Amino acid sequence: MTQPSDKALVPFVSVDNMMRLIHHVGIEDMMRDLADYIEADFKRWELFDKTPRVASHSDVGVIELMPTSDGEAYGFKYVNGHPKNTSEGLQTVTAFGLLADVYTGYPVLLTEMTILTALRTAATSAMVAKHLAPKGADTMAMIGNGAQSEFQTLAMKAIIGLKAVRLYDKDPAATEKCAQNLAGLGIDVTICKTPEEAIEGAQILTTCTADKQYATILTDNMVGSGVHINAIGGDCPGKTELAPGILNRSDVFVEYPPQTRVEGEIQQMPEDFAVTELWEVISGHKPGRTGDRQITLFDSVGFAIEDFSALRYIRDRIKDTDYFIDLDMLADPDDPRDLFGMVQRAKA
């Protein structure tokens, strides 16, 4: 059997190798690294191709492609969102991603992104909180204690120095799971019986629920002045978590307005509802938090550039390691014009 040439091989990071890499680097260090890569790409935002993700909706979920390019590399992520999956013993979100060289069009990385998406989502939240949360914020309410909750908490610890988290979920088993997973990781964990209790004393409020429907996880009277809100559960049309009154009292920051106005909390608001793009804050073009009583709100839906940053990081981090395998993924005939001949010769 003919061995594939180097040109045929694409590095592939499996779930097992992603987990090995996380333990090698350390989960908090990895999220700090990811935040640095994401912040660097936000600072060169204008270089990127930008388009709302391509979504295929069904009654039970959504399947999406998220592409972008900085002119030198091209990346995309395949991702689904199926809230009903947990009742069937399946993940709500699964994902994989690819990075390619723009000059040749050849892929240079294929990787699992179910775990990597959780890491990059949390790293993005904490990177944004670094710019928008009140100074000295050290306590977070984590409302929704599913697959993302521990990552969100540890990213805040690693990047802004979070000391305490107050957990609430309508499913007590989810809260117990989250509390057990965070035990011994340097965070003071409090289990709360209501969202109102979770918010007490918290300067950062994070909502991360999965139901694909309009919901009011936070009502207007629950949110006082001077807090930062990470609304990360809403990520498709018809799915929200916050009462409109909260949006009217907040300064709202978004990744990419054409996508967020369709998928985010601001889908509830008029088309001309004022928002600030995060890249402008991170680049120093516009202010973020300007006062102690200000409510800042990160209307997070996830954007392809954040995945591109994560793919760049993995590509760089696995060099000269054994945290990947080579896949025979690209046909490489001796004569580029003789693909048929290559197939025929394989018969022998």
Query: Among this protein's residues, is 235 annotated catalytic?
Result: yes
Selection from 261, 217, 206, 267 nearest residue 238 by Cα: 267
Selection from 155, 89, 106 nearest residue 126 by Cα: 155
Selection from 190, 110, 108, 94 nearest residue 142 by Cα: 190
List the alpha helices (DSSP H) in the chain. 15-25, 27-42, 114-132, 149-160, 172-182, 195-199, 244-249, 257-263, 278-282, 304-317, 339-345
Task: With beta carbons less than 8 A apart as the criterion, state whether 296 and 229 touch.
Answer: yes
Catalytic residue among 33, 41, 169, 235: 235
Residue type, 44: R
Helix (H, G, I), strand (E, B) or coil at 229: strand
The contacts of residue 323 (CB under 8 Å, 6+ apart) are 13, 17, 18, 20, 21, 24, 317
Selection from 112, 36, 48 nearest residue 74 by Cα: 48
Q: How far apart are CA 83 and CA 190, in angstroms?
A: 26
Residues involved in catalysis: 235
